[in-house]
Amino acid sequence: MLMRSLCFGGMMNSYTLKYLKADFYRYFLGYKIFIYSFSITAILIFNIIKENTAERNILFNMWWSMYGMQVLLIMIICSITFSSSLKDDIRTVFIRQEILRGDRLSFSFARNISIFLSGLLTFFIGFITFILIQMIFLPWYDEGDSIYLSAGRTGALHNLVLSYNFLIYSILFAILIGMLMGIVCLISGIVLLYVENSLIVYTLPALVYYFVTEYLNDIFSNKMFNLNSIYSGTIRVYDSDIKSYIYAVLFSIAIIVISTIITNHRLKKLVYLKAF
């Protein structure tokens, strides 16, 4: 029955939309999203100052900022935004009232979408603010710069770089990396359903990032299944920019569906149990 619902779009119904609306008012219209987003902006600015790249160019700083310890801090910030919402609702027994207003599958689907979007939007706002600040002081690129040349040859969305549409490139680049942050949030949220210690949400992003960067290249030599390739923004899964980007979107949707199945199965056991 569950698989039939998934295959025929049974999850996206009026109940799902109501749950999404409730989550929207709960988080996306609150002040926390801006606090977390501007914290990301501050981390990115501090990083380019520390690395002495503040006087280079925007494109260089975009790429350079996505490597190093600051990425772990950004993942942690994105994860604490909404990843623990399911566990919090279970602890307060508020989840029973929510499910009674619809059904468990629709609730699971809506909450996984919300968790994913919380990570994506938190990163997006922080990253775009970082770009806008740089636009006041720095050029987009320097002729002959190694990052500019790489972005135009092998980077995702390289046609936008070659046509000098840097603002559109930055927006799509931020969304691409934001999808990876959303996936990390989903993983954190699911793990929290199985462990009692909520502090795991602070350490799990680091573990996920380390696993992705150190082991997935060996496990999945095919770029089609390597998160580090799909969402890096520095390489393309396909030769076509559009195909590569659509693939990243579809891959994210698949992760949301898988997370929904896991969440729905877990909530079936926990909703009426005092497990937390």
pLDDT interval class at 272 (50, 70, 90): low
pLDDT at 114 over 90: yes
Note the pTM of the prediction, 2 decimals.
Answer: 0.87
User: Which range (118-127, 240-249, 255-264) has the least confidence?
Assistant: 240-249
Question: How far is Cα 57 from Cα 139, in angstroms, rounded to an integer?
Answer: 5
At CA 192, angle to CA 33 and CA 183, rounded to 5? 55
User: What integer pLDDT is reported at residue 218 of this predicted model?
Assistant: 60
Task: Write down the residue that tokens 């606090």 correspond to.
Answer: 35
Report the candidate in 171, 176, 179, 173 with the shortest Cα–Cα distance to residue 116: 179
pLDDT interval class at 274 (50, 70, 90): very low
Segment of 46-55, 113-122, 208-217 carrying the highest mean pLDDT: 113-122
* Percent of the chain with pLDDT strictly greater than 70: 83
Q: Residues 226-251: what's their mean pLDDT?
A: 82
pLDDT at 140 over 50: yes
Report the candidate in 205, 184, 182, 201 with the shortest Cα–Cα distance to residue 193: 201
pLDDT interval class at 67 (50, 70, 90): confident
pLDDT at 134 over 50: yes
Q: Residues 253-267: what's their mean pLDDT?
A: 92
pLDDT interval class at 157 (50, 70, 90): confident
**What are the CA-CA distances from residue 134 to residues 2, 26, 82, 120, 128 (Å)?**
48, 32, 29, 21, 10
List, in sequence order, the alpha helices (H) in the chain: 2-7, 14-23, 32-50, 58-64, 69-82, 85-91, 94-100, 104-137, 146-153, 158-162, 166-192, 200-214, 216-219, 227-230, 241-270
